[in-house]
Structure 1
Amino acid sequence: MRSVVVSATTEVPVVGPREPCPCGSGKRYKVCHGKRAREAERQYVARPFAGLPGECDWVAMREIVSSATAPLRLTGDAAHRSAVVCTLLPGALPALVRDNGEILLALQTISSTGDPAADLGHTLAQALEAEPGNTVNPGPRPADAPRLHDLIDSDAEFSVTVHEGFDYWLDPESDTGSEARAALEEANSAIVPAARLSSVSAAYWCSLGDRDQVRWVLPHEEEPLLDGLARLHAAGTDTLGDGTRLLGTFRASGLLVPVWDLVDGTTADEVEKPAATFAERLDDAVADTSPLDHDQRRARAGLANRQVTIR
């Protein structure tokens, strides 16, 4: 039997699209329970992580950072279980359950739908049912699958740790073979060095080899944020210090992410104070509701034209 799709009333095995639906309706699977699964996958949620603690860091871990983890506090009957969300697992697996029952839930996977929080909720629910020592491939997400919000404590702090490598892949309580260690070394060689700034929320210093950057996931609504950035740009105060430059923004999971080029060799520690000062300027600029002047409108148009949407 292949992966299972859970409907509101029963569990229905996944079969070929032209085969009879196992639910007994007499219809082909593709127009019965298969159709429901496809409809669930097509649903698009503009801000899938809104309402979760650390929304901006969820986005950063999914889109910006190579290697990071954060513990999760589960609710209900699963409150006693240990769970960790991470950026990536070997082979881009959705999740795995360690021998001791701890769950590792990955944000960067091969496939996803229009609602990543629902995908993660479905994966986490399947991981809670899996036996220790197994990987988790949840299969198509049913329409009534829980979202991530339904399974984790919304009042718990979301504390991100950025790692230099993927050593968290290794289970300290299990032997690791040479093949797994070789895969780990290969993955570590491709990591983009990063650090989470401590002076502000959800800003990450990244070293791309030939240049250093700050990528900052901001929680503001898009229109006021663009206005605020435009005001600062027109005033020449949209930088993070001498020699830095705001390249533009990209959109990820419904939030804007401004990106700054830094002076070569700038460390994460060196950008902490400029970032904190900029955050104060930005808050004031976003709160300003007066009409934009000519130079500010021109700056805003430039920012809008340099956007890239990531889904």
Structure 2
Amino acid sequence: MGKKSRVKNRQEHADRPEGEVGPRRPCPCGSGRRYKACHGSADGPAPTYVARPFEGLAGEADIIAMREIVPAATAPVRLREGDRSVVLCSLLPGAAPALVRQDGTIWLGLQVQHAFGDPSRDLAAVLEKALDAEPGDVVGLTTAPGEGDRLQDLLTDDPVEVTVHGGFDFWVADVDDPTGAVAASLEAANAAAHPSVRLESVDAAYWTDVTTKEHLRWVMPHDDEERLLTGLARLHAAGKDSLVEGARLVGMFRTQGVLVPVWDLPLGTGAEALEKPAARFAEDLAAALADDGPLTPEERSARSGLANRQLTIR
């Protein structure tokens, strides 16, 4: 810092009333942001960030998968109050936050980034608006929803039954001959959707074919992320993480507060070939998570390698 800057900072500090927070100091609210970018901002405080927004829902892992990695999928859910039909959808036409169908069913789009800090609150606010909307209405948010119910408050705590679709034809399943903007949107969405399959033998593991290669992406919520990383490292060091010949655990990304390990798979593997190896891996991982022994040098090296191959996307 130059001399002029130091003098300026000292002057600003001297002119500041006692007890006032400086613009570059951490905001007292605990957000981790500087005061000038949070409660000291002319636009008001920044949105409260929730690191793991869907924690507590039995379907957390699959909701995250539908929101982040699965192109076309649906899952019916039940409201705690009322008998309206609600269906979670990975993506809706025009990236709409919610649609009220002619029969009154509410389709809630998960792949909408409102950027208001808490996706669970954002989605719940959209759902609440949709409950008061008319058939045919498109519902969304234009401003921050403020405090209120979250999905955990509105939905029953049941596992979700995900149906993965080969494309977005479910958008128009009740339309005889879609035309115009709907048909164009459907064609573009189908062209961009990679084939995906949810494995049946384990929870929230999704195979996909991206043309040049195949992947398995497995959403793994765990209350102790460090322990999960250690368990994965034990299996990696033991050579128990390849799943099938030629497969490789290439790393993991973190989204919505959970880790998602990613495997590269040889072309032609398919989802069916992964069912038994994935179930075996889940058993091995459970045993590794229960192991409280010290890490061997090989396991420490594997853990370091996995930690270096992490990417946080949201």
TM over 0.5: yes
Query: Is it true that 1:121 corresponds to 2:124 in the alignment?
Result: yes
Which of 75, 78, 85 in structure 2 is aligned with 1:73? 78
* CA distance in structure 2 between the aligned counterparts of 1:173 and 1:248, rounded to whole angstroms: 42
Residues 3-60 of structure 1: CA distance to partner in whole angstroms, max 9, x if unpaired? xxxxxxxxxxxxxxxxxxxxxxxxxxxx9xx96xx64x61111211111121110111
Q: Which residue of 1 aligns with 2:279?
A: 276
User: How far apart are 1:145 and its partner, in Å?
Assistant: 2.6
Structure 2 residue runs of 5 or longer lacking an equivalent are: 1-38
Question: How do 1:145-294 and structure 2 match up within 5 A?
Answer: 145-154=148-157, 156-170=158-172, 172=174, 176-220=178-222, 221-294=224-297
* CA distance in structure 1 between the aligned counterparts of 2:258 and 2:181, rounded to whole angstroms: 39
Which of 100, 118, 134 in structure 2 is aligned with 1:131? 134
Residues 222-277 of structure 1: CA distance to partner in whole angstroms, max 9, x if unpaired? 11111011111111112112211000110011110000111211111111111111
Count of residues in Structure 1 that have an aligned counterpart in Structure 2? 273
Answer with 1 or 2: which has the greater Rg: 2
Q: Which residue of 2 aligns with 1:47?
A: 52
User: How far apart are 1:169 and its partner, in Å?
Assistant: 1.4
Contact 1:68 1:163 in 2 (8 A): yes
Contact 1:205 1:214 in 2 (8 A): yes
User: How far apart are 1:99 and its partner, in Å?
Assistant: 1.5
User: How far apart are 1:173 and its partner, in Å?
Assistant: 6.2
Which of 49, 62, 69 in structure 1 is aligned with 2:67? 62
* CA distance in structure 1 between the aligned counterparts of 2:267 and 2:175, rounded to whole angstroms: 41
* CA distance in structure 1 between the aligned counterparts of 2:80 and 2:277, rounded to whole angstroms: 39
Query: Is it true that 1:105 corresponds to 2:100 in the alignment?
Result: no
- 2:289 counterpart letter in structure 1: V
Residues 97-146 of structure 1: CA distance to partner in whole angstroms, max 9, x if unpaired? 11111100001014333211011001101111111111002222332232
- 1:284 counterpart letter in structure 2: A
Contact 2:116 2:144 in 1 (8 A): no
Alignment CA distance shift 1:237-1:67 (3 Å):
same
Question: How do 1:19-38 and structure 2 match up within 5 A?
Answer: none
Task: State, as a whole percentage, how many aligned pairs show the same letter.
Answer: 54
TM-score normalised by length of structure 1: 0.84
User: How far apart are 1:175 and its partner, in Å?
Assistant: 6.8
SS at match of 2:87: strand
* CA distance in structure 1 between the aligned counterparts of 2:173 and 2:269, rounded to whole angstroms: 35
Alignment CA distance shift 1:151-1:175 (3 Å):
farther
* CA distance in structure 2 between the aligned counterparts of 1:268 and 1:171, rounded to whole angstroms: 26
- 1:296 counterpart letter in structure 2: E
Alignment CA distance shift 1:103-1:174 (3 Å):
farther
Instruction: Give the RMSD, CA atoms, in angstroms.
Output: 1.8
- 1:133 counterpart letter in structure 2: G
Contact 1:252 1:310 in 2 (8 A): yes
* CA distance in structure 2 between the aligned counterparts of 1:110 and 1:167, rounded to whole angstroms: 23
